[in-house]
Amino acid sequence: MHPSDQPDTAKLTVDQRLVSFFRDGAKIVGLPASVGEIFGLLFASPKPLTMADLVERLNISKGSASQGLKMLRTLGAVRDVEYDNDRKGYFEADIELKKLVGGFIREQVRPHMESGTRKLGELEQDLDTVSDPELRAFYENRIKIIQRWSGKAKLVLPLLQKFLGE
């Protein structure tokens, strides 16, 4: 073994640790590991990186890099930058918590909430099909409970965004 080669248990470099940190973070919030790694490497890099850099340094396929970057751009977590006046695309991590959380809420939370609201509406329609009045009253109450939750959730999101926006 060459002296600079490190065994598995060796200390990781800071950028490797950041990649690992964001890989875990991505999994926690339900995003693919590769997406976390890409963000991590960009976050750990003083200079913008190309897709080829990501493929090489993270050992991921071109396909993963492309799809991961697409998702990160949609989330507003990564942006395209001009660099080296090169025709290749360069990318940079966005470090504003407000933007990261905002993108996550917009892309991952709101769509689910909307579909939930729609489903809840359908549910109310079906109440008419319940003939037993006691059961019907029970269901009405249950639906009211969900609506109360839903109302809170809708209030909480802007509150959260406000709090996180410095």
Partner DNA sequence: TTTTTTGTTCAAAAAAAATTGAACTTTCAA
Partner DNA sequence: TTGAAAGTTCAATTTTTTTTGAACAAAAAA
Which residues in this chain contact DNA in the complex, by CB under 7 A? Answer: 27, 30-35, 50-52, 59-64, 66-70, 87-89
Residue 146 falls in which region: left (phi positive, over 0), alpha (psi -120 to 50) or beta: alpha
Q: CA nearest 92: which of 55, 56, 38?
A: 38
| Contact characters 101-140, a second copy, x per CB under 8 A | -----------x--xx--xx-xx--xx-xx---xx--xx-
Q: Please name the helix (run of DSSP H) or strand (run of DSSP E) that holds residue 92, with its range, or none.
A: strand 90-93
Q: Is the CB of 56 or the CB of 124 nearer to DNA? A: 56
The DSSP bridge partners found for residue 49 are 91
| Residue 75 DSSP symbol | T
The nearest distance, CB 130 to DNA, in angstroms, is 27
Interhelix angle for 51-58 vs 62-74, to 10°? 120
The nearest distance, CB 3 to DNA, in angstroms, is 28
Q: Give CA–CA dist 135/127, Å, rounded.
A: 10
Among 146, 154, 158, 162, binds a second copy (CB under 8 A): 146
End-to-end CA distance of the chain: 49
With binding defined as CB under 8 A, does residue 25 bind a second copy?
Answer: yes
With binding defined as CB under 8 A, does residue 152 bind a second copy?
Answer: yes
Residue with tokens 């909430």: 113
Residues that bind a second copy (CB under 8 A): 11-14, 17-18, 20-21, 24-25, 28, 30, 43-44, 46, 95, 97, 112, 115-116, 119-120, 122-123, 126-127, 129-130, 134-135, 138-139, 142, 145-146, 148-149, 152, 155-156, 159-160, 163-164
